[in-house]
Amino acid sequence: MHERILVKDISEAARTRAGEEVQVSGWVHRIRDMGGITFVVLRDRSGTAQLVLPETSSEDGLIPEDGLTLESVISARGLPVLNEKAPGGAELQLRSLEVISRAQADLPYQVNGDISKVGLETILDNRLLSVRNPKIRAIFNVQAAIIEAFSAYLRSKDFTEIKTSKLVWGGTEGGTELFEVEYFDRKVCLAQSPQFYKEAMVSSGMERVFEVAPAYRAEKHDTPRHLNEYVSLDIEMGFIESEKDLIELEQGLLTHIFEELSRKNAADLALWKTSVPDADAVAKAPTVGYEEAVKIASELAAKSGGGRIFDITPEAERFLCEWSLKEYSSELVFVNEFPRRYRPFYAYPSDANRTMSFDALFRGLEITTGGRRQHNYDAFVETLPRFGLKLENMQNYAALLRYGCPPHGGFAIGCERLTARILGLANVKEASLFPRDRKRVTP
């Protein structure tokens, strides 16, 4: 199999190695019988290409006696030829064909079909087949590129990648939405976020850290924006002054991610008929205070005949993104100065009622929550009663502030949410290879 070429290279081979047999391998994506001549569309990791079987194929033994089934894995040899009418401008005129793994004929899911006509549950129930569809595959190409660009950008800014435990003694935020794990003779929880660990590593001298890892939320409700298990892109950095340093970092980071996607995933974006904001649009993203943001959303809601808005609800997020696009030509908007009552104990107060925390909204949805954290031990201790927390239960957290902790902050981007917003997916589950919800734990 060492001579195998990818189907994307057939046209190149037709130009440079005309008359020379080449070998391709992959999955039978489509079979078209055009009255004598049979066309097989072959799919490999690089895309699809047309194989042309001569009229006498079945007599020649080119096609196996039990026929060629869709999704079978085959290896084929033939002559690469340029053909304007063929998709990609070239095709392979077959000389031999070997079935490596015959797909059973009872295919429960039509891989080469139009996915807009298939329901989400069917797509997820048949994940091993649905991800073979080039348009669905494109989602995960984009997701891999996001993770690569995220990591590369942060490394270029001197961040250290960390890997922290997902088995924790309790929720950082003291919430109840935790999954319990039977851990030998005790119970632990699945981490909701690496919040404690990333702050601890900043305070331990790494200064700038990031982590790409699963996070868990035992939320019972099923919405198009939630997953019970998701990939969290986490960042934390020391020696910041306010959340504005973080917003600036996120703008640089998103710009890099978008530029990389434009450069390397143009075909994937094209399949979803979408594009990403350019550097200029990201730079123009406004930052608006919480109270002002609620007012803007409320006014837009009133204009469109909706009710009043009292918080940054999903509806408000949509209105704020509309507003940002109209006023600033940016699909991205930052909301800062969140009230203390809406943020966890570790949010750094900017005054008696407000915090140095922020959300990033993109294309109608929150993709990031973050902010500066409390780094002062005495202020931390004073704050706890306000949140119904007791110091004796917070000894791990106290330890990270007690022995020298720089001013710091960070944020997290939901990887599936960002993927879904970039591609315009209706449900975040589409952007998870194996999503978990209250009902779904397989495949």
What distance in Å separates the CA atoms of residue 275 and residue 111, rounded to the nearest whole number?
25
Q: Supply the minimum distance, in Å, between the C-beta of residue 184 and a second copy.
A: 5
Of 65 and 106, the one with the shorter C-beta distance to a second copy is: 106
For a second copy, the binding residue among 17, 30, 157, 166 (CB under 8 A) is 166
Q: What is the largest CA-CA distance in the chain?
A: 86
Q: Which residues within the stretch 170-189 sit at the binding site for a second copy (CB under 8 A)?
A: 179-184, 186, 188
Pull the structure tokens for residue 193.
């976020």
| Interaction residues for a second copy, span 58-77 (CB under 8 A) | 71-73
> Which of 81, 115, 118, 206 lies at the binding interface for a second copy (CB under 8 A)?
206
Q: Does 30 bind a second copy (CB under 8 A)?
A: no
Least Å from the CB of residue 261 to a second copy: 14
Does 84 help bind a second copy (rule: CB under 8 A)? no
Chosen residue from 37, 100, 266, 270 binding a second copy by CB under 8 A:
100
200 vs 247 by CB, closer to a second copy: 200
**Does 205 sit near a second copy (CB under 8 A)?**
yes
Q: Does 128 bind a second copy (CB under 8 A)?
A: yes
- The residues in 347-386 that bind a second copy, with binding defined as CB under 8 A, are 375-377
**CB 182, min distance to a second copy, A:** 5
Strands 208-216 and 167-168, bridge-based pairing? unpaired
Q: Does residue 283 touch a second copy according to CB under 8 A?
A: no
399 binds a second copy per the rule CB under 8 A: yes
**Residue 56 touches a second copy, criterion: CB under 8 A:** no
Binding of a second copy at residue 441 (CB under 8 A)? yes
CB of 270 to a second copy, least distance (A): 18
Q: How far is the CB of 370 from a second copy (least distance, A)?
A: 19
Question: Is residue 387 at the binding interface for a second copy, with CB under 8 A as the rule?
Answer: no
Q: What tokens appear for 391 in the block?
A: 């110091």
40 vs 333 by CB, closer to a second copy: 40
Enumerate residues 290-309 that contact a second copy by CB under 8 A: none
Nearest to 365 by CA among 323, 325, 327, 321: 321
